[in-house]
């Protein structure tokens, strides 16, 4: 067993060298982000699914830290340490461990400690070109390592955002639907609520208070809520502050005054999120879906088609690729194009590589404004399993 373990470590190291060589030949700078990261930052940006799987601890000084669950956020922090505005063109590559709790128990395909070799590209002015360049390089690196057969799965959160923007609804409803996108049951429940006038009503609060709450006067609204809580003898208990409670009641009061979404609009959104098609047919199917509603997704669809054209020009065979509108990966910081590379040996639940566009993440991490960004990582243990089986 010890000999097999040593052999696997050597094989992983040799494989990582090949992958990093491919990245550096393409002009990416090799970096080594810190393994221990500030927990608060990660827990704010990675989303609920990964938040529950992050190893968090407190140091002797009382600072809450974590073992990095991925290397994208640490790379963003490194880039901002060098360039505080974040808008300097840069490309980085890395290889190292990440850590995630596995609720069903760690396995060879899903270990608690695993290695990623990846790339991140910041501040490119041509998003579709950069998306295609990142995916092309990952495919080339996998082929250099010896992988021959794979399936490509694509998604595009930009199309989903464009659809919501094209439909008539309050901006806060768009934010909620985007927030619930990664949780299908919660998404469907919220969509159903937005179509029901009864569900949009606020129960248990005086109508006089709700009518008086005005989003244009947040300070006055907070005073009214505070007075109501005092009169009702209700104390602030738990983690919600008075401003947070006021914001929630303002949103509830505004919802109660809104006209609900029409069933046709809700059905359109539901049908879109359920759309699955060969990638070459996806844009046409989306156009057919929205045509009766006279919506314009022209710019988002043009970007989707251009990206596929650039991939073809770069020699990536995407003709067998599939598109799924609901595909957004497990990390909630993605904002646009997303992809996974799946090996037949491991199946869709254990992709060998994946990545996507995350134009809001640098701002979430500390940049003064959003910065175009896209990246990808290869799960090197999974790649090794594909190439050699459980042991090389």
Rounded to whole angstroms, how far apart are CA atoms 352 and 384?
Answer: 9
Q: Name the β-bridge partners of 91.
A: 121
pLDDT at 151 over 70: yes
pLDDT of residue 392: 43
pLDDT in tens, 339-382: 999 999 999 889 999 999 999 999 999 999 999 999 999 999 99
Give tens-digit pLDDT for 271-317. 999 999 999 999 999 999 999 999 999 999 999 999 999 999 998 88
Kindly tell me if the per-residue pLDDT of 189 is higher than 90. yes
Going from N- to C-terminal start, the domains of the chain cover 2-161+315-388, 197-257
Q: Which two tokens stand for residue 129?
A: 């070109």
Is this prediction's pTM over 0.75? Answer: yes
> What CATH number matches the domain at 2-161+315-388, 3.40.190.10, 3.30.56.10, 3.30.930.10, 3.30.70.1400?
3.30.930.10
**Cβ proximity of 387 and 367 under 8 Å:** no
Name residue 323's beta-bridge partners. Answer: 154, 277
Q: Which residue has the tokens 């768009």?
A: 174
> CA of 101: how far to CAs of 69, 211, 308, in Å?
9, 47, 35
* DSSP state, residue 259: P
**Higher pLDDT among residues 4 and 85, named by residue:** 85
Query: What pLDDT, on a 0 to 100 scale, did the predictor assign at position 238?
Result: 60
Average pLDDT along the chain: 89
Is the pLDDT at 176 greater than 80, yes or no? Answer: yes
Worst-scoring range by mean pLDDT, 193-202, 230-239, 257-266, 294-303? 230-239
Phi, psi (rounded to 5 degrees) for 173: -70, -40
Q: What average pLDDT does this structure show over 114-134?
A: 97
Instruction: List the alpha helices (DSSP H) in 258-390.
Output: 263-273, 279-290, 298-313, 361-365, 380-388
What is the reported pLDDT for 252? 77
Q: What is the rounded distance in angstroms from the CA atom of residue 43 to the CA atom of residue 49?
A: 10
Taking residues 61-70, what's their average pLDDT?
Answer: 94
């Amino acid at each position: 067993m010890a000999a097999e373990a040593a052999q696997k470590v050597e094989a992983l190291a040799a494989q990582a060298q090949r992958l990093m060589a491919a990245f550096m030949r393409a002009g990416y700078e090799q970096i080594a982000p810190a393994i221990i990261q500030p927990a608060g930052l990660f827990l704010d940006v990675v989303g609920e699914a990964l938040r529950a799987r992050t190893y968090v601890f407190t140091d002797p000084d009382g600072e809450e830290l974590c073992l990095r669950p991925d290397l994208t956020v640490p790379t963003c922090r490194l880039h901002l340490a060098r360039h505080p505005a974040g808008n300097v063109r840069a490309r980085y590559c890395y290889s190292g461990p990440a850590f995630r709790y596995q609720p069903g128990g760690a396995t060879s395909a899903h270990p608690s400690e695993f290695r990623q070799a990846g790339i991140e590209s910041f501040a490119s002015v041509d998003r579709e070109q950069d998306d295609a360049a990142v995916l092309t390089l990952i495919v080339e690196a996998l082929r250099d390592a010896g992988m021959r057969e794979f399936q490509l799965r694509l998604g595009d959160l930009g199309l989903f955002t464009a659809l919501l923007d094209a439909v008539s609804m309050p901006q806060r409803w768009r934010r909620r639907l985007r927030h619930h996108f990664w949780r299908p049951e919660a998404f469907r429940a919220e969509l159903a609520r937005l179509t029901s006038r009864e569900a949009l009503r606020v129960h248990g609060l005086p109508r006089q208070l709700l009518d008086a709450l005005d989003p244009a006067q947040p300070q006055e609204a907070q005073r009214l809520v505070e007075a109501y809580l005092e009169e009702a003898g209700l104390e602030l208990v738990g983690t919600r502050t008075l401003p947070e409670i006021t914001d929630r009641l303002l949103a509830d009061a505004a919802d109660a005054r809104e006209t609900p979404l029409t069933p046709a609009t809700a059905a359109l959104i539901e049908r879109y999120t359920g759309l699955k098609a060969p990638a070459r047919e996806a844009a046409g199917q989306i156009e057919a879906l929205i045509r009766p509603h006279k919506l314009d997704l022209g710019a988002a669809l043009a970007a989707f088609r251009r990206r596929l054209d650039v991939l073809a020009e770069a020699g990536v065979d995407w003709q067998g690729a599939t598109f799924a509108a609901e595909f957004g990966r497990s990390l909630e910081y993605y904002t646009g194009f997303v992809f996974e590379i799946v090996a037949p040996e491991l199946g869709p639940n254990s992709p060998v590589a994946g990545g996507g566009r995350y134009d809001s993440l640098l701002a979430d991490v500390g940049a003064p404004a959003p910065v175009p960004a896209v990246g990808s990582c290869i799960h090197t243990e999974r790649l090794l399993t594909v190439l050699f089986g459980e042991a090389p």
